[in-house]
Amino acid sequence: MRPDKISYAAKCDPLICLYGESYLQKHRRSQMNVVVSNKMREMARLKIALQNSTTINTLIDVLKPELYKYIGAATKIVSGYNSYRKTCKSSSLAIHMGTNLKFLSDVARKAFITKDSLFNLKDRDKNIKNISELREPIANHWCNDISSLANNTLNEKKWEKPKLVSLTKDIQIFQNYVNKMADEAYSNLNRRECIPDNIKF
């Protein structure tokens, strides 16, 4: 991870570190190092956005059902959501953030259940309950609250792409040329005429 404010936020958060470690264990290929680094940076950017709107210190503090709307708002900020145009700069991030948050919730819940020493276990049962309750709106409502907005942006970008008609015409011209050359070569071979030097086999 390159050293900056985002990587510092990721490295100082025990849940983000545990999230990265769990993701790396889940996908053991060596190429996943960059992917895991990016996933951790995404969570760190979410944490920074949440710190600007709430009083959380670490990401574990936000895993409460009453903070779901703040998580959604922070995701919109991180994905570059424009409320006037109703578009996202990074639609794919907004879409897959729901899946990442479910995985993060599972990692946090497991840490509390197994009494991981990284976390304050004073309110262990309350934290497990909060995480389980937060997972429900993420699983059932994220697609309506966040993903649908991002999907609209992706679909609009597909519609705005110009049609590549000129490429089709170029291919047809090339195909006609090749067919003409093939017909000439075939007729020359049948008549046993001299084959021009510029034709390569």
Do 116 and 175 lie in a common domain? no
* Statement to judge: residues 104 and 73 lie in one domain: yes
Q: What is the DSSP string of 158-177?
A: HHHSPP-HHHHHHHHHHHHH
Considering the domain architecture, whether residues 130 and 143 belong to the same structural domain is answered as: yes
Mean pLDDT of the chain: 84
Largest Cα–Cα distance in the chain? 95
pLDDT of residue 167: 66
pLDDT surpassing 60 at residue 159: no
Q: Are residues 142 and 184 in the same domain?
A: no
Mean pLDDT to the nearest integer, 112-130: 88
> What contacts 80, CB < 8 A, 6 or more positions away?
88, 89, 90
pLDDT at position 133 over 90: yes
Which residue type occupies 45? R
Mean pLDDT score, 47-64: 91
pLDDT score for 82: 80
Q: Which of 160, 162, 140 is nearest to 152 (CA)?
A: 160
DSSP 79: T
Whether residue 84 is found in the same domain as residue 27? yes
User: For residue 168, what pLDDT is reported?
Assistant: 73
Angle subtended at Cα 109 by Cα 108 and Cα 111, rounded to the nearest 5 degrees: 65
CB 19 within 8 A of CB 104: yes
Do 74 and 148 belong together in one domain? yes
- The number of folded domains in the chain is 2
> What is the per-residue pLDDT for 188?
83
pLDDT at 164: 58
Asked if 105 and 73 sit in the same domain, the reply is: yes
Q: The whole model's pTM is what? A: 0.71
For residue 141, what pLDDT is reported?
Answer: 87
User: Do 152 and 96 have their domain in common?
Assistant: yes
Q: Are 167 and 197 in a shared domain?
A: yes
Q: Does 114 share its domain with 37? A: yes
- Are both 144 and 54 inside the same structural domain? yes
Task: Provide the domain limits for residue 175.
Answer: 162-201
**pLDDT bracket for residue 92 (50, 70, 90):** confident
Statement to judge: residues 105 and 119 lie in one domain: yes
pLDDT tens digits along 15-42: 999 999 998 888 777 778 888 899 999 9
